[in-house]
Amino acid sequence: MVSMKDISIRCGVSVATVSKALNDHSDISDSTKRLVRNVAQEMGYFPNSSARALKTNRTFNLGVLFVDRARNGLTHDYFARVLDSFKVTAEARGYDLTFINCNKTTQRMTYLEHSRYRGVDGVVIAHVDFNQEEVAELIRSEIPVVTIDHSFDNKPSIVSDNIRGIRDMVEYIVGCGHKKIAYINGGDREVSSVTRNRIGSFYRTMSDLGLTIPEEYIVDADYRNPGKCYEASMKLLGMPDRPTCIMCPDDLSAIGCINAVNEKGLKVAKDISVAGYDGIDIARYLEPKICTIEQDTVSIGRKAAEKLIGMIEHPKTTLIERIVVEGKLLPGNSIAMLN
């Protein structure tokens, strides 16, 4: 491994001069800086991360807390895109990523203990049970934290506008002439603010539009679970006064709903309308294309990285704020025009 001493011998200058040149000190001439940097590049020199950490009191390493109880992992379309955007932005600013968990060693660690063990400069919480005491412990700690799709009073958060997304979708569906709209709920309302905001927005928008919702039109399932959505859809389709439109938790779950419609001998967008959420690629390739809300995952991931790095590098001037990122309605052609 090439060291500063190797570079100093090649350039005929002291190790201190090499260090100053690489760190752009003003008391080193531009010609010397160019010489040192060119030689360093030719020799394949990279600064030692441990030495840099001692000098700057930072490791340039960001922790990612992502715990998926459904075991979808990074195949989860929404979070995979968010984290990819986060990664691209962080790496462009010179940071690496480390995933935080509880079982890195034979001795179980809390999220906070593992964050300290890895020496991360900050943590983004992308997906977890936010009601856990271990999460609260991390939030209370000295480590800079940014959350995605969940807000704490004293930490910055980046959230997708689920309230507006559901409102835009319901208004579009009602505008197509539908009044009997069923809603398949995707998660635990007591645990997930996303779930709570979505179903709350559904109830409020329907009320604002003067429409009533039979209780049997609200059915529980799971996010990203076509099988559960299939079962919930079969229940809805078997009702004597069945809905004309079914809103699913997400685009992947909507596939289960479409399968149920087909099994009943019905046609999507003719006999039954179907809507999803998230705007993943598969929604655009199905026929008919699913009506959905495309979430701006690039902006969510980028803003999360920028906010977290801002807290690390400029702690006194970075605002503790809740940033809301709007999505976009993609009408598709899975909603029948009844009017």
Q: 106: which residues sit within 8 A by CB, 6+ positions away?
A: none
- What is the per-residue pLDDT for 52? 58
Q: Which two tokens stand for residue 142?
A: 């000295």
Predicted TM-score of the model (pTM): 0.83
- What is the per-residue pLDDT for 2? 81
Residue with tokens 């809390």: 110
E-strand spans in the chain?
A: 61-66, 96-100, 122-127, 145-148, 157-160, 181-185, 218-220, 245-247, 273-275, 292-294, 322-325, 328-330
H helix intervals, 12-161:
15-22, 30-43, 49-56, 77-92, 111-118, 133-140
Q: 247: which residues sit within 8 A by CB, 6+ positions away?
A: 169, 170, 173, 181, 182, 183, 184, 202, 275, 277
CATH topology of domain 4-47: 434 Repressor (Amino-terminal Domain) (1.10.260)
Domain at 61-160+298-325, CATH homologous superfamily: Response regulator (3.40.50.2300)
Neighbouring CB atoms inside 10 A of 69's CB total: 11
Q: How far apart are CA 302 and CA 158, in angstroms?
A: 10
- What is the per-residue pLDDT for 3? 83
* Peptide bond before residue 156 is cis, with ω within 30 degrees of 0: no
Asked whether the beta carbons of 160 and 325 are under 8 A apart, the reply is yes
Rounded to 10°, the helix 226-237/251-263 angle is 40
Region 162-295: CATH code: 3.40.50.2300
Q: Do domains 61-160+298-325 and 162-295 have the same CATH topology?
A: yes
Q: Which two tokens stand for residue 134?
A: 């271990």
Q: How far apart are CA 272 and CA 212, in angstroms?
A: 19
Q: How far apart are CA 167 and CA 192, in angstroms?
A: 19
Domain boundaries, the chain: 4-47, 61-160+298-325, 162-295
pLDDT tens sequence for the chain (339 residues) = 788 888 999 999 998 898 888 878 888 899 999 999 999 889 888 776 555 555 557 789 999 999 876 556 677 889 999 999 999 999 999 999 999 986 555 568 899 999 999 899 999 999 888 989 999 999 999 999 999 999 998 999 999 999 999 999 999 999 999 999 999 998 776 678 899 999 999 999 999 999 999 999 999 999 999 999 999 999 999 999 999 999 999 999 999 999 999 999 999 999 999 999 999 988 888 889 999 999 999 999 999 999 999 999 999 999 999 999 999 999 999 999 997
Asked whether the beta carbons of 43 and 11 are under 8 A apart, the reply is no
Q: How far apart are CA 43 and CA 287, in angstroms?
A: 56
Given strand 122-127, what is the order of strands in its sheet?
Answer: 96-100, 61-66, 122-127, 145-148, 157-160, 322-325
Q: Which two tokens stand for residue 20?
A: 């100053």
